[in-house]
Amino acid sequence: MNYAQITGWGKYAPPLLMTNDDMAKIVETSDEWIFSRSGIRQRHYSHVSTGEMSWLAAERALAAAGTDAADIDLVLLGSTTPEEICPNTASFIKNKLGATKAAAFDLNSACTSWLYALNVATDMIKAGSVKKALVIGAERISLAMDWSKRESCFLFGDGAGAVVIEATEQKSGLLSAHMSCVPDSRECLHLPSWGMSPLHLTGGIHVSLNFEGQEIFKSAVKGMADSIAEVLDREGLTAADIDLFVPHQANVRIIQSLAKRLNFPMEKVVVCIDEYANTSAAAIPLALCDALSDGRVKPGMNILTASFGAGLTCGAGVIRWGDRVEPVGQSDAEIPPYEGTVFDLMKESFAYYGVDAEHLLTK
């Protein structure tokens, strides 16, 4: 039987930071207010597109795997913020990498997009359709912030993470995954003007995130817990058999509540929401890359992951790590830096929502 071992990993976290103190200069809030409700201290904002971020994360993942782009059979991007709806952003990434023979497509299930994409690509390898795949999660969700809504504008950040998965006979990689979607829950988390229909009807897109925190919290914890129970049962495992838990980074209270429900100690949970905020589809691969660089991933580990997103989509998976936890190589590819501050970068967004931030801009 084929498995799909993770052999390479890479990330891109944009260098421009919007700290909670920076946020307090834009909306009526404070570091204490934000951190106490979410666990967030800062977020990274990108001056380049989702495709560019994805490309660099993918270059780094290929180097870590010691794999040439020309050997990749599939480039699969999980994202809610593609550069364009048509053509897909995965084709841009494929071309920039030089992955000449690779198929390419995007997958959008909101924050669960990377986990769903990993499941799809793993199943394709198990079926023999492809042998090597790049699975990327990337978001430039700073573009979707409504600066008139202090309850949600601080929640999200930008970034990208990628893994290379390869066919192997060794029992490793994503062993089991469960994907689900909570019924009748679409309206509690959505961008109602993010798509073709409003563009066609109004001639423009006005983005304003609708966010019902209590309903999301309840549905997210239950949905992820149910999916976790399903995948653990499939593999004949219990929470005690899990060495590391890499959950979606949406809110530290959700993470803590889920860990408590599973009777899972927090010292075995990867938490990096303080660094990145909620990066949607990029959250789990970013967290996984950090866990690897911090030495928290060991050969043969059982790693549990779980996610939820708008829809409300949910999912969980059990990953058996392979023998290697160090990258084969390093990529020297880089994205040119932005010449300005985060306030310069977001100037047009602030102005669109009527926020006067002129006094913060670089002269």
Question: What are the catalytic residues?
Answer: 111, 248, 278
Stretch (H or E) spanning 242: none
**End-to-end Cα, the chain, rounded Å:** 62
Q: How far apart are CA 310 and CA 248, in angstroms?
A: 13
Burial class (CB in 10 A: 0-12, 13-18, 19+), 256: middle
Q: How far apart are CA 126 and CA 169, in angstroms?
A: 10
User: Residue 249: helix, strand or coil by DSSP?
Assistant: coil
Q: How many other CB atoms are found less than 10 A from the CB of residue 42?
A: 20
Phi, psi (5° rounding) for residue 344? Answer: -65, -45
Amino acid letter for position 125: I
Q: How far apart are CA 121 and CA 188, in angstroms?
A: 29
Residue ranges with strand state E in the chain: 3-12, 16-19, 42-45, 74-78, 103-107, 132-139, 159-168, 173-181, 189-190, 210-211, 244-247, 302-309, 313-320
CA angle (291, 297, 301) in 5-degree steps: 140
Stretch (H or E) spanning 140: none
